[in-house]
Amino acid sequence: MSCLTEIDDPRKPSNGTLHDFREILVIMIAAVLSDSDTVEDIAFWARKKEAWLRRFLVLKNGIPSEETFLRILRALDPKQFEAAFRRWVGGVVGALNDDAALSGTIAIDGKTVRGSGSGGESAIHMVSAFATDLGLVLGQEKVAAKSNELTAIPELLDALSIKGLLVSIDAMGCQKSIAKQIVAKKGDYLLMVKGNQPKLLEAIETAFIDQHAVESVDHEYLVERSHGRTVGQIASVLPAKGIVDPAEWPKCTTIGHIDSIRVIGDKESGLERRYYISSRALSAEELAAAVRAHWGVENRLHWVLDVSFGEDASTLCKDNAPQNLSLLRKIALNIIRADKTDTSKASLRLKRKGAAWDDDVRENMLGLRSIC
């Protein structure tokens, strides 16, 4: 609530507002946590749980209508909502684990909210920062219309505290300005290198081909088997000195590549090779672990938002509603991941249902205290 008080009510007082703005936000957070994926779900859940909500909220004029929830989502300033979210999650990270707050990897990756496109408008694309060790979303930034992730990544980085952290970004974010921004904020970068940086890519490829350099390559071999799929990887690293220009890529210390082959059933993929640069002195083992953590965002964040929260099925497309509802989902996801009262190994989907069905479970997750 202390974070939510810093968000301005977008409604005009002259309209005679019936419902407290921050109570509306709390209801929406509790509802999304409790397996409500649409505005209709949120309003229906709130009506059914009015007696429970009154243990914590005043609700002077009862439960808001579905139309009121929708108006708030459309009008709410997403920048203010995002800033409040970052302040809240910063406290969550510190409370969970002081060591984890100072170490680990932040993966920055984008996802399109497919159902948000309508009437000729493109679906919104959100870039998120994900703490891979804790499984928490640290922030999000909407990609501007007719633009790409390159406009959103610097804004997201600017809003985050990344001191001492390794920030991993795919090839889209392999830009000199982004590397400089991360180093200036006392973080380290791990950037995938592709054809959008042809000179850099050629220099790294040549270094690994050169027979004299190969003798000093550090290798790490890994084979993983799960769900009928086998993935074999070889990670290799070299010192970046003499290969990468530190004036263009500040403090670049390590270059690396990862070779991957996937076998699904009796079908084998071709060899895939990906190149990387990093300002941190990484061993081959550490490079492999950081890259696995980055690609884990697909399963631990994007897949969860789609399957457990129905994000791609959402048809909200007006004004700020898609962006704000996306952040509500991430708040609920963080609450579940941060909950230490539940020691069960239930899936995230079942934990949401547990919050929907059991008032005590929901209270513990939210850390609520009765006003009665």
What does the pLDDT read at residue 102?
A: 42
Instruction: Tell me the pLDDT band of 314, cut-offs 50, 70 and 90.
Output: confident
- Domain membership of residue 31 (yes or no) is yes
The three-state secondary structure class of 348 is helix
**What is the number of helices (H) and of strands (E) in the chain?**
15, 10
The three-state secondary structure class of 299 is helix
* 199: pLDDT strictly greater than 90: yes
Show which of 253, 288, 304 is a domain's final residue: 304
Backbone CA torsion sign across 149, 154, 160, 166: positive
* 226: pLDDT strictly greater than 80: no
Instruction: Tell me the pLDDT band of 104, cut-offs 50, 70 and 90.
Output: confident
- Domain membership of residue 325 (yes or no) is no
Contact call for residues 96 and 114 (beta carbons, < 8 A): no
Contact call for residues 320 and 74 (beta carbons, < 8 A): yes
The answer to whether the predicted template modeling score (pTM) of the entire model surpasses 0.75 is yes
Is residue 30 domain-shared with residue 67, that is, in the same domain? yes
- Domain membership of residue 319 (yes or no) is no
What does the pLDDT read at residue 96?
A: 59
Is residue 186 domain-shared with residue 266, that is, in the same domain? yes
- Domain membership of residue 261 (yes or no) is yes
Show which of 304, 325, 347 is a domain's final residue: 304
DSSP assignment of 191-212 equals EEE-TTSHHHHHHHHHHHH-HH
CATH at residue 132: 3.90.350
End-to-end Cα distance, the chain: 17
Amino acid symbol at 56: F
- The domain tally of the chain equals 2
Is residue 32 domain-shared with residue 126, that is, in the same domain? no
Domain with 100, as residue range(s), is: 79-304
Is residue 194 domain-shared with residue 246, that is, in the same domain? yes
Is residue 232 domain-shared with residue 85, that is, in the same domain? yes
Contact call for residues 191 and 153 (beta carbons, < 8 A): no
- Domain membership of residue 332 (yes or no) is no
Instruction: Tell me the pLDDT band of 210, cut-offs 50, 70 and 90.
Output: confident
Show which of 258, 277, 304 is a domain's final residue: 304
As beta bridge partners, residue 226 has 229
* 188: pLDDT strictly greater than 90: yes
Tokens of residue 141, six digits: 């930034």
Is residue 221 domain-shared with residue 297, that is, in the same domain? yes
What does the pLDDT read at residue 48?
A: 97
Is residue 133 domain-shared with residue 274, that is, in the same domain? yes
Q: Which helix (H) or strand (E) holds 284?
A: helix 284-295
* 39: pLDDT strictly greater than 70: yes
Residues whose CB is less than 8 angstroms from the CB of residue 153 and which lie 6 or more positions away in sequence, other chains included: 108, 127, 141, 169, 172, 173, 178
Phi/psi of residue 327, nearest 5 degrees: -70, -35
Is residue 58 domain-shared with residue 111, that is, in the same domain? no
- Domain membership of residue 136 (yes or no) is yes
Tokens of residue 346, six digits: 């239930």
Is residue 197 domain-shared with residue 228, that is, in the same domain? yes
Is residue 126 domain-shared with residue 97, that is, in the same domain? yes
Is residue 222 domain-shared with residue 95, that is, in the same domain? yes
The three-state secondary structure class of 149 is helix
What does the pLDDT read at residue 6?
A: 87
Place of tokens 């979303």: 137
Phi/psi of residue 56, nearest 5 degrees: -125, -25
Residues whose CB is less than 8 angstroms from the CB of residue 268 and which lie 6 or more positions away in sequence, other chains included: 261, 262
Contact call for residues 32 and 49 (beta carbons, < 8 A): no
Is residue 23 domain-shared with residue 169, that is, in the same domain? no
Mean pLDDT on 195-212 = 88
Contact call for residues 356 and 56 (beta carbons, < 8 A): no
Q: What percent of the chain has pLDDT over 70?
A: 89
Mean pLDDT on 135-159 = 86
